[in-house]
Structure 1
Amino acid sequence: MVAAPLLRAQQAARRQSVSIHRLGLNVHETKYSGRLQFLRGNGFATSALKWQADVLNRTRNIGIIAHIDAGKTTTTERMLYYSGFTRRIGDVDEGSTVTDFLPAERARGITIQSAAITFHWPPQPAGDGNTIPPQEPDAPRSAVSHTVNLIDTPGHADFTFEVMRSLRILDGAVCILDGVAGVEAQTEQVWHQASTYRIPRIVYINKLDRDGAAFGRTVREVASRLGGWPAVCQIPWFEGGNGRFVGVADAINLQGLRWEEGDGKSVKMFNLEQLAGEESQLAEELKRARIALVELLSEYDEAMVEKFFDFGEDHLAVPANDILESLRRCLLEEQGRKIIPIFAGASFRNIGVQPLLDAVTNLLPSPPETPEPEVSISGVKGGLRHLLSGDLLVERSEKSAATKGKHKKKSAIQAESRSAIENLQGCALAFKVVNDPKRGVLVYVRVYSGSLDRNSLLYNTNLNVSERAPRLLKMYANDAVEVDSIPEGHIGVVVGLKQTRTGDTLVTYSGNKVTPPEPLNTLQLRPINVPPPVFFASVEPYSLSEEKRLQESLAMLLREDPSLHVTVDEDSGQTLLSGMGELHLEIARDRLLNDLKAKASMGRIEIGYRECPLGPSGPVSKIFDKEIAGRKGKAGCTATIEPFHPEDPPEPDSSALSIQTTGGNQIIIQAPGLQVETNKKGIEESPLLPPGLDINTLRTALQNGCLAALARGPQFSFPMHSARVTLTFDPTEHLHGNESTPSALSAAARLATSSALRDLPSAAGTCLMEPVMNVAISVDESSLGAVVHDISSSRGGHIVSLDEETPLSATDASPPTDDLPPIDPTKVYAPPDPFESPSLGVNLPPAAHRPRTITAKVPLKEMVGYLKHLRSLSAGRGTFVMSVDRFEKMSSPRQKAVIAELRGEFT
């Protein structure tokens, strides 16, 4: 009876496997794997699980991160070519790269949108899609084929948010440095952001073929500016010691690799003896590099110390595979000072990319080896593996039971938790949403547990809605292949989701239930903190008939990129689009008009100023008494406004119902005479409030009303900043029975706050505040004087430092701070550069071309259009990055000039 269905299932699986083999893909899971598993029994199930575990262990989810123009996309193109994914090498200047496929990217020659692509390294043998060869005990991991999911990220500071949402789903990263410029400002920022997610990284020093390239200096900068010990795994091979760059010497395998002219596929290998005959000076330096590498690893890895003694304390005798394993352990170790493996190459000349790919498979972690992502469930935080084991649900249930005063047996709580977890089929994070003109809306997901299957019901825990996944894709940059399932640890795309946004958590539950049971319906993977936008531009439809189409296009744009904001000016009715920078808004305009085909015009890019009170207002009481949506609403509130200094907060008021600081303002809610009690469910209530209105709802309604009023200042119509609002809610005066609904309370708070704001100009008045930016400018020595003079005299900025490590503030949570002392660069091993002075031990490039970094604080208004001006001052070589430092009050003359300019523009 079983033979016929089994035969049909095997034939169907074989047909599907063959069709996928023709596409050159690795099959992770066939459509009928579940049925075969059932028919073949436990033996098959065990082997299938082992096979899936082997596939997962041979998967790498990595990203390419770097400063703009360091060579990310160029390196990615070489990776795709050598892996056999492409048959020709794309060129950024020609606009023929695989990952930069947007028209705006090809026109500008920069990466705007991160692209996901999957390939195999080493290249997979033909017809070997379903078999996984065993790994030899002494062979490196790179001896067998691995699946690499690669994400090429932008380098421009305006697209920091694009980098952030890609970083949070990576297991490892390759940081590319320009061998001439060294560690640049944006590199530091992205490095610190990667530290917040504890992502293991290796460093690839690129562009060593260019004049002025300094491998040794860059290695020392890695130590001083990125705060880790560089483990130099490769040193550059300059012909004759100071000639052209021809290859690398590998300190791990003790061999020289010399690339022939051409596409880089022809590489000559020299062992240490052969290298000594060819380049004796390089061979001696390679020995020093191996000794320094073993010594450094011995400080952090006890196993390496044992190996060192096993081989007679001979640094050169330690096997290469033991060094790789030691490097891997140190790289994945979370405690203490990080070790940073360093590799060398010149991607544009096709040198050094294949050993870098070997390093990706040998050193960077597979999905099971990464630090577990943080999750939150009903306000209880923990790790994902902690959740899947059931322990997190047990903790949450015990806390809930203790709050309610009920005590269940621990065994009963564990049984409930186990049952809930067993039915959780998959958990994924939507990290990116793209509107593709051909395929519709594509939602990029990283699956953290279980799998996402085609036609499964996905529950969105952020929006509390369910959506079916009709199609699943595996993306190859702009091309895609349809799959039946996205397994754990992999990155894929769901097509056809109508509501899912960037940052949403998606779960699938057994039996295709619409809503998972509590508390799994509150499961949240770590969200992104979106930074405040500082530039805005007005968007106007060509006609009223186009307004609906424009709103839909803007909604799609916001769904794709949450760092954009859309607001509507109350007085003028203008729609304002806000973003992170000039280029960010320019790209948003291109997407809106060219890709989404919105018939609209976009105004000049403006700066988002703020308005702050100069003194206190008097208390203003207001009663709101109107119908809302056909229901009578009546409530009151009293508001007082005074200046607020975030850096010097007063003592907290214990009698306050709530104190919230948001957007540079503080909202204090006082409720004298309101008795607060906690019910059996742990909810705060008051006998004075009408039924259905608890303390939390009251607090939220008053805060929302106050925030709505603070969005518009009384004098200049800019949002308020540095204001403290005290809302007083007196139940005897401001409560009117069942008519005091949440919407009425919110309206009353807004009315009272707005009236208090209107009182300010006649009292102490308000003044404008402008965003002041942290700016890091990279220029040559020859341009330093002109740029410093321009910043300090023409632009009203002040110089903070020259050539000091002053990292820009990260966009997300700050990196974990430690008390470790800074690394002394003189104690770091780095090979001498061809132009290094042996007596001083420092690099001496030509004085005019020595890179310098200027750190300054400059008003944002003066930085609009600064890039063109900087290029003219620095002969096209200068670059800069900036981030918001804080809002500062303007001087009276400057405020008058800005107001005159604004009135001139709008009249």
Structure 2
Amino acid sequence: MVMAPMLRIPLPGARCLGHLYRTPARPIKHNVDNSSLQSKLSQARPYSATLSKPQRELLDRTRNIGIIAHIDAGKTTTTERMLFYSGFTRRIGDVDEGSTVTDFLPAERARGITIQSAAITFHWPPEGTEVHQNPQGSSLPRSANSHTINLIDTPGHADFTFEVMRSLRILDGAVCILDGVAGVEAQTEKVWHQASTYQIPRVIYVNKLDRDGAAFGRTVREVSSRLAVYPAVCQIPWFQGGDGPFMLSTFRAFDGREGDDGRAVKMMNLEQLQSEEPALAEEVRRARIALVELLSEQDESIVERFFECDEDHLAVSPADIVDSLRRCVLNPSTRIVPVFAGASFRNMGVQPLLDAVVNLLPSPPEAPDPEVSIGGVKGGLRGLLSGDLIVEQSEKVSSPAKGKKKRKSASLSDPKEAIAKLQSCALAFKVVNDAKRGVLVYVRVYSGSLDRNSLLFNTNLHLSERAPRLLKMYANDAVEVDSIPAGHIGVVVGLKHARTGDTLVSYAGNKATPPEPLTSLQLRPIDVPPPVFFTSVEPDSLSEEKRMQESLSFLLREDPSLHVSVDEESGQTLLSGMGELHLEIARDRLINDLKAKASMGRIEIGYRESGLGASNAITKIFDNEIAGRRGKAGCTASVEPADGKDVTDLADEHTILAETIDGNQIIIRAPGLQVESAAQDDESGHILPPNMDVTTFRTALQNGALAALARGPQFTFPMHNTRVRLTLNPAEHLFGGDTTPSALSSAARQATAAALQDLLSGPGTAMMEPVMNVIISVDEASLGSVVHDISSSRGGHILSLDEEIPISATDAVGSDLVEEPLPPIDPKRVYAPPDPFESASVGADIPASASTPRTITAKVPLKEMVGYLKHLRSLTAGRGTFVMSVDRFENMSAPRQKAVLSELRGGF
């Protein structure tokens, strides 16, 4: 059953978009005068003020969007249709055949899944389409003009959640694809909440409606109940006679034909639809009324248009409805999300979805102000470019600490002058090793223009690099360009050090280093989640070790969620990742793509170690030569279990650092030490050693403590849930010029390690294992066997069945933005068209709920989840899926600890 989407023919009125559009019988004024929205948008254009009028118009016709969804919802299939209808490709790629454009890695084509996000640029409508002027008062939609769409196809597997997070940071809008049979799945909820942390405007596309068991109405109701938004139904799928052919109902209905590739289409208006399908025409009227009513609750302009049309819902023009929808989509507080329907594999509904991307999702100037961090102060990019954020940062630096006198500010005399010399600011969101072009660094430019041969300063690594070549990527193909303007996505070729997540800036005068505090600028900072799986990596011979280390270094540049460490006892190189599939892909990349001659051991679990009580305070004095220079420093350390208290509540006036890192709390106190300035003659007390600032002083002590915590005293696993108190007595622990940063770090490491050893003679330590938050999707028939397997065989704890569990802090990977829980939405208030197959089966005595999807939420030890996917598929006849994330680390019982240790020793 194939439906052919809309043929793009210029219409005298509005273009077709769901049931919104019909050809107007008379000219309609386009109501775009919304002063509050326009004022917000004008404030959100920090980088467009320096652009020329043609450049601003080009930027307004640009969309940076991503496709997010659960695995196997049809993201790559939908992307292939978008490329085909836009004229980018001449044939439609197939995931099963391995002929898609965006899945070009050998591992992606072999497995049929997306592993790394792919960026591609195309135009919609296709280039060469007649461009219409759209002055104020015109009823032409934005999709009447050709737009540049930078599309990013993201992975759907839970092991690659961090890959999705890297892409979400640079998106202005997103298309969330749902499986019309499975509805809102667990990974969909996860990526939806992650997108909400960045306030990314979204539209929903319900895919696979041609499959048996598809239920558009049920999926719409799930959107309201599980995603806590108001679904605005813009299209209705319809099965003629309850059997087919499938078609999308609109005021200009799209009728599907078998064998079509989606270019040809039969279209009809509402009057024609009434004569051929009266039931469908009536449902379209109900959908139109429900949409106008929903928009009227959030948008005053549509209410005014409604009264001007004598309170006739059907008389409200499609252009006014689209404008209202756009305003609601750009304002996240309305919680209105447009919903579209289709079946991408059957070439249905993709062209109207492209219209929706152009008409409803924001251009770069309209997107939410991206978050930046500079010198420890967080704010928006608009505040940075106006200079206000630097002023705030300068005031914070110069503010006095407790019990101290205010000192003179060392901040910039004119922050706005420094900002004016900032030529460009970009975020490196992806690093890829291309066999032909070398290392490709994907960047999103947020301000100014990134030019070829410009000198880029990396604020994370504090070094500068030239940008010899710039490319515009089209999946695996590229076109060389001279510059990448603000709001666009491009590729820098030739950077030797840039990593995923680095911020790159260029400064006027081609200076290698911009002035303080611009060197600490971070665009949308992201935290890397701790890995939970690891495996050993060994070169085939000693001569191959250097090549293997170089390949591992590049893997770390490309994927920061991978970690490499060396076991001190065995000397093995350990590679850590987020999941089994994650490490399998890393192995394939290492051996097949990077051509490293190495072998990998079996996948192991990253356990932790934790103290059972408090240690005594241990003082260590480090006195030794480091690199030919004498270094001497001292430190006192004690360790204890973290009891759940916030680390900032434990700070006092002598505390110079109180921070939680990797599950451990580090508190550094230095009573009597003047850390604000090295020259304070009017105050008594000790000053910092020469040539050492407070940041270096704190970092040295912190690094020493972290080095000691990386290895537990009894089981050699990293410490977790441990509070380290470092106390530095200036009179006893500082020795003038002999106290170097490396000496301080060594003293802190020795003192912390001695305090950990002191635990063995006292309360002792215990092993901790990661406990996973697991969400399993099965059908009703398999529910009992899966619940029994989790609760009995695997030692898990069932939390709920079919209940929405709040996303934990570990699920919002890489973001310290806390999304407040939204109030629930009553599904009864939501319009959803009836599903044609909601009745029970007739004939065979099969319960109607036998194939009903069920969701199991449980907490299970990670050890029991290794290899669980194969077992789950055997229990559910291949229908079950699951996602999991680290919930927390828990102390193991004595019998379980003994069994795990015995297995580990036997394994080695």
Query: Which residue of structure 2 lines up, in the alignment, with residue 652 of structure 1?
Result: 650
| Alignment of structure 1 residues 674-823 onto 2, 5 Å | 674=673, 678=677, 687=686, 689-808=688-807, 809-813=811-815, 816-818=818-820, 820-823=822-825
Counterpart of 2:32? none
Aligned pair partner of 1:109 in 108, 112, 137? 112
The aligned counterpart of 1:173 is 174
User: 1:770-815 deviations in whole A, cap 9, x for unaligned?
Assistant: 0000000011111111111110011000111111111442213366
Q: In the TM superposition, what are the counterparts of 1:73-152 in structure 2 within 5 Å?
A: 73-125=76-128, 137-152=138-153
Report the Cα offset of residue 417 of structure 1. 3.9
Q: Which residue among 366, 371, 375 is the counterpart of 2:368?
A: 371
Identity of aligned residues (%): 73
Contact in 2 for aligned 1:777/1:853 (Cα 8 Å) = yes
Superposed counterparts of 1:612-627, under 5 Å: 612-627=610-625
Amino acid at match of 2:576: S
Verify the 8 A CA contact 1:440 1:496 in the aligned structure 2: yes
Change (3 A) 1:724 1:459: closer
Matches of 1:293 and 1:76, distance apart in 2: 28
Superposed CA offset, 1:81-105 (max 9, x none): 1111111110000000000000000
Q: Which residue of 2 aligns with 1:864?
A: 866
Post-superposition offset of 1:394: 4.6
Kindly indicate whether residue 65 of structure 2 is the aligned counterpart of residue 62 of structure 1.
yes
Post-superposition CA distance 1:57-107 (Å, at most 9, x none): 111110000000000000000000111111111000000000000000000
After superposing the two structures, state which structure 1 stretch, 520-529 or 474-483, moved more: 520-529
CA distance in 2, matches of 1:859, 1:746: 36
- Aligned amino acid, residue 801 of structure 1: S
SS in 2 for 1:85: coil
- The answer as to 2:668 corresponding to 1:666 is no
Shift of 1:331: 0.5
Q: Counterpart of 2:233? A: 232
CA contact (8 A) 1:193 1:814 kept: no
Q: Distance in 2 between matches of 1:681 and 1:210?
A: 76
RMSD: 2.6
- Match of 1:388, as an amino acid? L
- Cα distance in 2 between the residues matched to 1:850 and 1:103: 36
Structure 2 counterpart SS, 1:92: coil
Matched with 1:479 is 477
SS of structure 2 residue aligned to 1:760? helix
Query: Residues 297-696 of structure 1: matches in 2 within 5 Å?
Result: 297-334=295-332, 336-396=333-393, 416-646=414-644, 652-657=650-655, 658-674=657-673, 678=677, 687=686, 689-696=688-695
Q: 1:773 touches 1:860 (CA, 8 Å); kept in 2?
A: yes
Seen in structure 2, the aligned counterparts of structure 1 residues 382 and 312 have a Cα distance that, compared at 3 Å, is same
The Cα of 1:222 is off from its aligned counterpart by 0.4
Matched residue type, 2:99: S
**2:359 alignment partner, SS class:** helix
Q: Deviations over 1:661-688 (max 9, x none)?
A: 2222222233345466656899x99525
Q: For 1:325-352, what per-residue CA distance to the aligned partner results, in whole angstroms no more than 9, with x for missing partners?
A: 0000000013x34101000000011110
Partner in structure 2 of residue 218 of structure 1: 219
The amino acid across from 1:309 in the alignment is F
| Structure 1 residue 405: Cα displacement | 5.7
CA contact (8 A) 1:209 1:244 kept: no
Match of 2:55 in 1: 52
SS in 1 for 2:592: helix
Per-residue CA deviations over 1:481-512 (Å, capped at 9, x if unaligned) read: 11111111111111111111111111222332
| Counterpart Cα distance in 1 of 2:730 and 2:313 | 79
Give, as a single letter, the amino acid of the residue that structure 2 aligns with 1:746: S
Shift of 1:622: 2.1
Counterpart-to-counterpart distance in 1, 2:360 and 2:892: 52
Q: 2:890 aligns with which of 882, 888, 891?
A: 888
Structure 2 distance, partners of 1:864, 1:847, is 31
User: For residue 165 of structure 2, what is the aligned residue in structure 1?
Assistant: 164
**Closer/same/farther in 2, CA of residues 662 and 63 from structure 1, 3 Å limit:** same
The secondary structure found in structure 2 opposite 1:557 is: helix
Determine whether 1:246 maps to 2:246. yes
The offset of 1:745, in angstroms, is: 1.7
Which residue in the other structure is 1:826 paired with? 828
Contact persistence 1:610–1:770 (CA under 8 A): yes
SS in 2 for 1:552: helix
One-letter amino acid of the structure 2 residue matched with residue 556 of structure 1: F
Q: Distance in 1 between matches of 2:714 and 2:751?
A: 17
CA distance in 2, matches of 1:536, 1:653: 35
For 1:695 and 1:507, locate their aligned partners in 2 and report how far apart those are by CA, in whole Å. 25
Q: Please state how far the C-alpha of 1:225 moved relative to its aligned partner.
A: 0.7
Q: Is the 8 A contact 1:68 1:155 kept in 2?
A: yes
3-state SS of paired residue (1:531): coil
Counterpart in 1 of 2:19? none
For 1:106 and 1:400, locate their aligned partners in 2 and report how far apart those are by CA, in whole Å. 52
Q: Distance in 2 between matches of 1:191 and 1:754?
A: 43
TM-score, length-scaled by structure 2: 0.89
Deviation at 1:302, TM superposition (A): 0.1
Provide the secondary structure at the position in 2 that maps to 1:481. strand
Instruction: Report deviation, 1:289.
Output: 0.4
Shift of 1:707: 1.0
The counterpart of 1:897, out of the listed 874, 896, 899, is 899
Contact 1:614/1:643, CA 8 A, preserved across alignment: yes
Q: Taking structure 1 as reference, are residues 555 and 47 closer, same or farther at Cα in structure 2, changes over 3 Å only?
A: closer
The equivalent of 2:843 in structure 1 is none
Q: For structure 1, which segment, 500-509 or 192-201, has the greater mean C-alpha deviation from structure 2 after superposition?
A: 500-509
Contact 1:192–1:815 under 8 Å retained in 2? no
Partner of 1:26: none
Contact 2:328 2:334 in 1 (8 A): no
- CA gap of 1:511–1:671, structure 2 versus 1, over 3 A, is closer
Query: What is the CA distance between 1:278 and its match in structure 2?
Result: 1.4
Determine if contact 1:180/1:210 at 8 Å carries over to the other structure: yes
Distance of 1:447 and 1:286 partners within structure 2: 43
1:758 offset after TM fit, Å? 1.9
> Residue type matched to 1:542 in 2?
D
User: Alpha-carbon deviation of 1:396?
Assistant: 4.5
The answer as to whether partners of 1:188 and 1:807 remain within 8 angstroms in 2 is no
Q: CA deviation at 1:134?
A: 5.0
Cα deviation, 1:385-408, whole Å, max 9, x if unaligned, reads 232234434545566677776699
CA contact (8 A) 2:373 2:525 kept: no
- Residue type of the alignment partner of 2:486: E
Classify the secondary structure of the residue corresponding to 2:473. strand
Contact map agreement 2:245 2:256 (CA 8 A) in 1: no
Contact 1:676 1:685 in 2 (8 A): no
- In structure 1, the partner of 2:21 is none
Give the letter aligned to residue 667 of structure 2. I
The one-letter code sitting in structure 2 at the alignment partner of 1:352 is G
TM-score calculated relative to the size of structure 1? 0.89
CA displacement 1:498-547 (0-9 Å, x = unmatched): 11111111122233222223343333212211100000001111122211
Counterpart residue type for residue 428 of structure 2: A
1:724-752 deviations in Å (ceiling 9; x for gaps): 22223223333334322221121111112
Following superposition, the deviation at residue 623 of structure 1 comes to: 2.1
